[in-house]
Amino acid sequence: MRVSAAVALAVAVVVGLTAPSAEAAVAKVSGVTSVSADWYNSKLTVRWKAVRGTIYQVRWASSKAGLARAKPIAARVPRATSPTLNRCVTSYVQVRAFKGRVAGKWSTPKGLRFTNKRANPVAMTGTGITDGVTFSWPYTSFASRYRVLWNAAPFGRFPGAATYVGGGWFGQTARSATLKLPTVPKIGDKMMGVAYANPVYAQMQANNACKPTDIPHNQFIYAFPKAPDPGTGDKFRVGTYNVEANPTGARLATIADNIGDHGLQVVLLQEANAATAESVARALGSTWSKVDSILASDQQILYRNTYFDLVANNTFEVGPNPRPPNKPLVTPWARLKVKDADPAAVERSVIVSSVHFLENTAASAYSQKASTGVQARDAIAELARINRDNVPVIVGGDFRYKREPFCDEPACDIEAPPTFVRGGYYDAMAAVTKVNFKYPTNQDNHSTSVANASGVATRADYLMLKGFRGSLRYENVINRFLPGTRTTPSDHNLVLADVVLPAP
């Protein structure tokens, strides 16, 4: 009875070699050579010179000695693809021919290697999710693993040990990684979390594990966590504007035009005395009113009298003021009520306050951070004292940019913005829509704003919310020029936010 080639091969694998004299009847395979390498799947394909009228067995191992212990794999044609191999070492292959139950000698071991190169650059993207960010990337050639280095500061400048999403390396099939952020602001969170409005900076590190120390570092990218939906209620637009040293003439007119062109219902002014605020309100028209300060202050509050009624107002003092003559910083506040045609309607109110924190520029950077942090705590405490029925609060103004040097150890004195967030406030830049956050909010030289190389610029000017469910839209309004010049009317931009006053 004739035995098929397939059955003969199967039997040969089980039974093993025939006697040496029988081997001589089948030619030894020669000409084993590499055809292709599937680097991603760690497989090699080889071919050899055909031996007429035979089928074949192929065996693979990571050493010549290991070939004898390797399980043979059947092949019907003079070509075969390996099982998964170790890409980092030489692999050895042998082939022998079968005719019936007679096996030829194994071919001379052939050593083969994968081509191993540095992993190619890869473009990673970031997407905000609720209380976190997800980073995604495509496959890149010669990458057998991926790692996402994240940091709380631009270009990885936040100090401390390297931090990786997921703790370390992901396998070559990974295409995304998610970083969850703290939900309750506290010391040690590196100012990460949606309420801080700080992005996560991340860098893709793709590596060929066969070259474990050759890790190319791609550029840092940033991603903000997803902002919450502010919900329903009374929508209005609030702005903060450091108008710089009581402007007059063309400066004041341009500033008033800027406010009037942006549909604000409330604007908080800094470096504006009562006369300046009166002039701005007058330029804006009869639908605008100024809140009269009880004490003289260089911060002011304007509001649209067609949208709000003034319920109460006063000032409080923030200190210590580190700049001579070291007088306390007089800070105004006002309680505004949404106008309602129904006099029996439930009052919907908001407390607003305009602040301007200061630091001693001759002091150390840490001392300057501490000064603004202390002033922020004073403001938070005073507003809590005033707000006896716990209505929503908006604090806007010049908080100074004092984030660097970066520090969030228990011994660090943090600056004003994170002090507010850890005091229960929410940075309005953590909005559903953000506009012009790539540009700084102030320019000392009164020139055109220049986008920050990190993608997210420094800020001196903030709007902090308490009792709101986030903000709809944030915009850093790029300064316009004075007529016929290339000079801006103030060294700060108008910063605004669309917010929703929740129903009581």
Residues 6+ apart with CB under 8 A from 360: 322, 323, 367, 368, 371
Cβ-based neighbour number of residue 118 at 10 Å: 15
Residue pair 353/333 in contact by the 8 Å Cβ criterion? yes
Residue 99: closest CA among 54, 49, 51: 54
Judgement on whether residues 291 and 150 belong to the same structural domain of the protein: no
Structural element, H or E, at residue 256? helix 249-260
- In whole angstroms, what is the distance from residue 242 CA to residue 396 CA? 10
Judgement on whether residues 200 and 275 belong to the same structural domain of the protein: no
Q: Is residue 120 part of a domain?
A: no
The CA-atom distances, in angstroms, between 321 and each of 75, 271, 324, 326, 432 are 86, 15, 8, 5, 36
Residue 58, domain CATH: 2.60.40.10
Give the domain extent around 315: 233-502
Residue 443, domain CATH: 3.60.10.10
Q: Is residue 228 part of a domain?
A: no
- In whole angstroms, what is the distance from residue 285 CA to residue 256 CA? 10
Judgement on whether residues 299 and 403 belong to the same structural domain of the protein: yes
Judgement on whether residues 162 and 282 belong to the same structural domain of the protein: no
- In whole angstroms, what is the distance from residue 49 CA to residue 37 CA? 19
Q: Is residue 117 part of a domain?
A: no
Residue pair 132/56 in contact by the 8 Å Cβ criterion? no
Judgement on whether residues 100 and 29 belong to the same structural domain of the protein: yes
Q: Which of 50, 80, 112 is the last residue of a domain?
A: 112
- The tens-digit pLDDT sequence of the chain (504 residues) is 343 444 344 434 433 444 444 455 899 999 999 999 999 999 999 999 999 999 999 999 999 999 999 999 999 999 999 999 999 999 999 999 999 999 999 999 999 999 999 999 999 999 999 999 999 999 999 999 999 999 999 999 999 999 999 999 999 999 999 999 999 999 999 999 999 999 999 999 999 999 999 999 899 999 999 999 999 999 999 999 999 999 999 999 999 999 999 999 999 999 999 999 999 999 999 999 999 988 889 999 999 999 999 999 999 999 888 888 888 899 999 999 999 978 778 899 999 999 999 999 999 999 999 999 999 999 999 999 999 999 999 999 999 988 999 999 888 999 999 999 999 999 999 999 999 999 999 987 777 789 999 999 999 999 999 999 999 999 999 998 999 998 899 999 999 999 999 988
Domain total in the chain: 3
CA angle 72, 74, 76 (to 5 degrees): 150
Judgement on whether residues 272 and 304 belong to the same structural domain of the protein: yes
Q: Which two tokens stand for residue 150?
A: 């994240």
Q: Which of 223, 251, 279 is the last residue of a domain?
A: 223
Q: Is residue 435 part of a domain?
A: yes
CA R_g for the chain: 35
Structural element, H or E, at residue 299? strand 299-304
Q: Is residue 177 part of a domain?
A: yes
- pTM to 2 decimal places: 0.90
- In whole angstroms, what is the distance from residue 370 CA to residue 384 CA? 21
Cβ-based neighbour number of residue 51 at 10 Å: 20
Per-residue pLDDT, 24? 55
Judgement on whether residues 79 and 130 belong to the same structural domain of the protein: no
- In whole angstroms, what is the distance from residue 460 CA to residue 397 CA? 8
Q: Which of 87, 112, 137 is the last residue of a domain?
A: 112
The CA-atom distances, in angstroms, between 9 and each of 109, 255, 258 are 21, 90, 87
Q: Which two tokens stand for residue 261?
A: 């062109």
Using the structure block, give the residue that is written with the tokens 């893709």: 204
* DSSP assignment letter at 492: B
100 torsion bin: left (phi>0), alpha (psi -120 to 50), beta (else) = left
Structural element, H or E, at residue 335? strand 329-338
Judgement on whether residues 149 and 89 belong to the same structural domain of the protein: no
Judgement on whether residues 396 and 488 belong to the same structural domain of the protein: yes
Judgement on whether residues 369 and 482 belong to the same structural domain of the protein: yes
Judgement on whether residues 314 and 202 belong to the same structural domain of the protein: no
Residue pair 457/491 in contact by the 8 Å Cβ criterion? no
Q: Which two tokens stand for residue 496?
A: 């605004």
Judgement on whether residues 48 and 173 belong to the same structural domain of the protein: no
